[in-house]
Amino acid sequence: MNSAFQLTRQGGLHVGLILLCILYVHVGALFFMYYESPEEERIHRKNTKKFASLRENFLSSVERVKLEDAYDERRVNESVSRLIDEYSKHMFQLFKNPVAANMFDCLFYAKSNYTPLWTTDSSLLFTATTIIPVGYGYIAPLTSTGRIVLCIYAAFGIPLALVMMSDVGKFFADAFVKFFHENITAFMVVLIFLLVAYSLIGGIAYSKVTGVSMIEGIYFSTITIFTIGYGDISFYADLVALFSPFVQFVELLIIFCYQSFQLEGGMYLMKSLLVFNFKVLFPLQFVCFEVRSECGTFKAL
C-alpha cells in the first residue's frame, strides 16, 4: 500500500511539473499573441503604405525623366540608374523592420499574401524556446511592454523549465542505470548514441517537412538540441512550415529529450570521469613520479 502510494505520488509530481510547464507556455503564448498582434498589424499597414508610396514615386520619377530627356539616351540611363539606387536604398531601410522583412519575404519569395508573424503556433514556439532557452530569433516582442513582460516571463519560466527537465531527466537516467545494472559505461555509450540519433533524426524530419537540404536540417537540429539557436538560417517561404504544429512538436521533443538526458546524464558522465581520474590517472601520476625520481630527473622539495 505504501509503495503504491509512493509510486503514485512520484508519478503525480513528474506529471504535475510537465503540465505546469505546458500551462505556463500556453498562457505566455496567448498573452504575447494577444498583445503583439495589434502592433504587428499596425506596423504592417504603415509599411504597406510606405512601400506603395515609394513604388509610386519611383515610377512617376522614371516617367518624368523619360519625358524630359527623351532625346538624350545616355542622360536617361544615368538618371534612371540614380533613381534605382535611391529606390533600393529606401527599400532596404524600410525592410530592416522584422514585420516589413516578413512582408518582403511573403511578396517576393513566397509570392503570397502577408502571413502574420504572431500566430498561435509561432507564439507557442516562441514561449517554449524562451524558457528552454534556445531563442531562434525568428520573432520577438515589438512593444516596450512586451519586452518588459518577456524579461519577467523568462525569469520565472527558465528556472521552472530547468526543474522540470532535471526531474524528468533524473527519472529516465535512474531507469536507464537500473536497466543496465549500474553499468555506467554502457549507460554513457547508449546516452551518446541517443544524442547523435536525436540530431540525425531531427534533422532528417526537419528537412522532409520544410524542404531544406539534409545538411541544413541536421545543422539546425544540432544547434537546437545544444540550445544555441543562432537564428542564422532563414527559410523564407518555409517560415510558415517552421511554425506548423508537427515541426514544432519535433523541435520541442528533441530539445526536451536532450536537455533531460543532459542534466542527469551529464552528472553520470562527470562521475565516470572523476572515477576514471582517481582510479587511473591519479595513481599513474604517482608511478611517473617514482620512475622519474629513480632516474634522477625529478627531485621532490
Look at the chain and count its residues.
301
73 in a structural domain = yes
Judged by phi (left if over 0) then psi (alpha if -120 to 50, else beta), residue 227 lies in left
Contact 107, 127 (CB under 8 A): no
Which pLDDT band holds residue 24 (cuts at 50, 70, 90)?
very high
Domain at 38, CATH number: 1.10.287.70
* More confident of the two residues 53 and 234: 53
pLDDT number for residue 237: 40
For the chain, the domain total comes to: 1
Residue 37 has pLDDT above 50, yes or no: yes
Structural domain of 247: 2-292
229 in a structural domain = yes
Q: What's the count of helices (H) and strands (E) in the chain, helices before strands?
A: 10, 0
Q: Is the pTM value of this prediction over 0.75?
A: no
**pLDDT, average across residues 174-200:** 76
pLDDT number for residue 280: 43
**pLDDT, average across residues 149-156:** 94
**pLDDT, average across residues 189-209:** 79
Residue 165 has pLDDT above 90, yes or no: no
Report CA-CA distances (Å) from 36 to 49, 58, 75, 127, 217. Answer: 20, 32, 48, 13, 30
298 in a structural domain = no
Nine-digit cell string for 121: 503556433
Nine-digit cell string for 190: 547508449
Q: Which amino acid, 42?
A: R
Contact 210, 242 (CB under 8 A): yes
217 in a structural domain = yes
Residue 64 has pLDDT above 60, yes or no: yes
Nine-digit cell string for 92: 532596404
Residue 35 has pLDDT above 80, yes or no: yes
pLDDT number for residue 211: 75
Of 115-124, 132-141, 245-254, the least confident: 245-254
Convert the pLDDT of each residue in 77-102 to its tens digit: 888 888 888 888 888 887 777 888 88
pLDDT number for residue 268: 56
DSSP string, 157-186: HHHHHHHHHHHHHHHHHHHHHHHTTT-HHH
Contacts of 202 (CB under 8 A, 6+ apart): 217, 218, 221, 224, 225, 250, 251, 254
The CA angle 282-285-286, to the nearest 5 degrees, is 100
Report CA-CA distances (Å) from 293 to 197, 285, 298, 300. Answer: 49, 12, 5, 8
DSSP string, 191-237: HHHHHHHHHHHHHHHHHHHH---HHHHHHHHHHHHTT--------GG
301 in a structural domain = no
pLDDT number for residue 92: 80
299 in a structural domain = no
pLDDT number for residue 219: 85
53 in a structural domain = yes
Of 93-102, 154-163, 229-238, the least confident: 229-238
**pLDDT, average across residues 180-185:** 71
